[in-house]
Structure 1
Amino acid sequence: MDLIKYTHSCVRLEKEGRVLVLDPGSFSGREELAEALEGADELLITHVHPDHLDPEPVHAHLRAHPRTRVHAPAPVAAGLREALGEGHEIHDAEPESVLELGGFTVRTFGGQHAMIHPLIRTVDNIGYLVDETVYHPGDSLVVPHGLTAPVLLAPIHAPWNKLSEVIDFVVSARPERVFQIHDGLLSEHGFGVIEGQLRTFAAKYGVEYRHLATGERVAL
């Protein structure tokens, strides 16, 4: 299975001619999203925020490709069904379930977004473990009970996290490799500070931290 990293939290997985895309959000831009979604068989959405689901280009893609199967938290799936109407495979994703998606096996975890502020309502958030190999947590740093994921996608910067929490997330999950997601607000200096610390702490626990450039492909 190959992983291609796109801007922020958008990730594309390819395996044996099948394509699964996670979180095509607004930070990617229209051309990049079109590339990420090209030929997608499966689309997984962690939560409703636009940096994880850019409605207009995703709606357009699904109208043009109605056989693309979508799984998303129930409120997100309901919104997609309302916007797109009949003739689309849009399913509610519930935590603690197993999805058999045409060659991909996906386990779900969750499910609420990390707290930004007590006066900001949290939303549903589902994390996805694909083929017992790669875990995309969406906007959450909770390590699910019993999770073993050789490859962890770590949200390294957000209004709702701090570096110590990211380090603890990586250390607690104990993957073999870590790649960054949720990085769209970082400058070059920010990457240097955050990733330097993550790389150092990860190495203490035998974990490899690696930065992926936008569009970079890696074999899992």
Structure 2
Amino acid sequence: MKLTKFTHACVRLEKDNQVLVIDPGAYSETGEALAGANFVLITHEHADHVDVDAVVEALRDNPELHVHAPSGVASQLADKAGDGGGRVHAVEPGSSFDAGGFAIRSFGGQHALIHPQIPVVANIGYLVDENVFHPGDSFVVPDGIDVKTLLVPIHAPWSKVGEVVDFVISVRAPKAYPVHDGLLNELGRGLVEAHVTRIGAKYGTTYARLSPMDSVEV
């Protein structure tokens, strides 16, 4: 399976002529990410994870496209796309479904706390093919699962470096790559990644940087 990272939180997975995109947000190259996509998974409603207008346009242009998202996001997309919900599907935590040959499992339920005066929204983490885990904006650890490839939210308004490291330690995936890094400069990135690389290695995780448009086989 080919994994391509886009700016910030978006990744694109490809296998067997099927394309799955996770979190095509406003900070990402949504047009390129969504080109030819068969399925889209959205973790939560924040604009850096879902560019609503871009996803609605993709639904209108591509009659084969299906989108899976928390219920509030799914309702908004279905209404704007005039889709009636037929190709936009609400996802609850603890569910499993097939997306064109990609086996999907969902985890979590809510966004990490930013501040007590900022409402907490629904957030779904997705495990693809018992391999790639994208947690969205949370540090939810899939229970009873050996994750092979972890996508790590390296930086966010809701986290600190120690929590990032503890998340990597808790999941203990053999491979880890960054997401949610669009607000970092090189100094900040280097600091966080040094800790994740050094401490993660003690627990069996090899962390590697991916820049926007880089691809790896996972």
| TM-score category, normalised to shorter length | over 0.9
Equivalents in 1 of 2:142, 2:204: separation in Å?
21
Q: Which amino acid aligns with 1:23?
A: D
Structure 1: 5+ residue runs without aligned partners?
none
Q: CA deviation at 1:194?
A: 0.5
Contact conserved, 2:57 with 2:81, CA < 8 A, in 1? Answer: no
2:87 aligns with 89
Residues matched between the structures, number: 217
Please, which of 40, 45, 49 is the counterpart of residue 43 of structure 1?
40
1:26 aligns with 26
TM-score where L is the length of structure 2: 0.97
Equivalents in 2 of 1:53, 1:4: separation in Å?
17
Equivalents in 2 of 1:92, 1:129: separation in Å?
16
Q: CA deviation at 1:61?
A: 1.5
Q: Which amino acid aligns with 2:114?
A: I
For 1:98-109, list aligned pairs within 5 A: 98-109=96-107
The SS at the match of 1:180 is strand
Q: CA deviation at 1:10?
A: 0.3
The SS at the match of 2:54 is helix
Q: CA deviation at 1:144?
A: 2.6
Moved more, 197-206 or 81-90: 81-90
1:71 aligns with 68
The SS at the match of 1:14 is strand
CA RMSD of aligned residues (A): 0.9
Q: CA deviation at 1:147?
A: 2.6
2:191 aligns with 193
Equivalents in 2 of 1:26, 1:33: separation in Å?
7
2:59 aligns with 62
The SS at the match of 1:127 is strand
The SS at the match of 1:105 is strand
Q: CA deviation at 1:68?
A: 0.3
1:174 aligns with 172
Contact conserved, 2:107 with 2:140, CA < 8 A, in 1? Answer: no
Q: Which amino acid aligns with 1:11?
A: V
2:125 aligns with 127
Q: Which amino acid aligns with 2:25?
A: G
Runs of 4+ in 1 over 3 A off after TM superposition: none
Sequence identity (%): 53
1:6 aligns with 6
The SS at the match of 1:24 is coil
1:160 is aligned to 2:178: no
The SS at the match of 2:200 is helix
TM-score where L is the length of structure 1: 0.96
Equivalents in 1 of 2:10, 2:83: separation in Å?
26
1:141 aligns with 139
Structure 2: 5+ residue runs without aligned partners?
none
Q: Which amino acid aligns with 1:165?
A: E
